[in-house]
Amino acid sequence: MKTVLITLTLSALAVASTAWMPNPSGQTHKLGTGSSFHASVNGAVSTEISGDARFGAVSGTAGAPATFTVSLGAYGEHGSILFTSWAPKRLEAGLYRVSDLLDEETVQALVVTGSTDHPTGSFRVHAGTLTIITSSDSRIDAIYDLQAEGFTADAPEQEGRTIHVTGSFTALAQ
């Protein structure tokens, strides 16, 4: 099941101004005209993740609903984050609760550490916030603060490992 979860997650991940924006950890992330993100991960895994940031709607099928996703670092060397909203429309400016509930009022998130070729951990976010600062058809700027639980590749039987993730992004439409 864990292998399937990681494989599905990695498959899903494949799918500005010049101001400085502070993230919840007090660090800054330079917003620009291109897509980018930065995340600080602490806990069972400690690392810094950065890379490309994209967003878009994913069409539904008979067996799966339409969703809206924000993909951070899909091809990164140190990790990636996938935000999924079960409401198939772009997230507007505002504060969103991030949890593991399946409803249109919350956003779900998954954090994968390591690269797509060599993942080192998979963590499902159970609590946190995603604050969308600006949102347009072409760009979303946001900060986030997440608590997640999961496992590391070196000890997959220990599923209760926890991490705290803070960061910010400027995502462009896919």
Q: 18 or 119: whose pLDDT is higher?
A: 119
pLDDT of residue 33: 59
For the whole model, what pTM was predicted?
Answer: 0.81
pLDDT of residue 154: 94
The torsion angles phi and psi of 11, rounded to 5 degrees, stand at -65, -45
How many CA atoms are closer than 13 Å to the CA of 87, on its beta-carbon side? 10
For tokens 């772009």, name the residue.
90
For tokens 């067996």, name the residue.
63
pLDDT surpasses 80 at 121: yes
Residue 131: which of 9, 15, 23 has the closest Cα?
23
- C-alpha dihedral sign at 110, 67, 35, 91: negative
The per-residue pLDDT for range 77-88, each reduced to its tens digit, is 889 999 999 888
pLDDT surpasses 70 at 9: no
Residue 26 Cα distances to 4, 55, 145, 170, angstroms: 36, 25, 11, 17
- C-alpha dihedral sign at 116, 96, 103, 149: positive
Residues 161, 150: Cα–Cα separation, whole Å: 5
What value, to the nearest 5°, has the Cα angle with vertex 86 and ends 93 and 90?
A: 35
Which tokens go with 110? Answer: 């998954």
Which tokens go with 163? Answer: 């991490």
What band does 17 get if pLDDT is binned at 50, 70 and 90?
very low
String of b and e for 105-114 (b: at least 16 CB within 10 Å)?
Answer: ebbbbbbbbb
- What amino acid is encoded at 125 in this protein? V
pLDDT of residue 102: 83
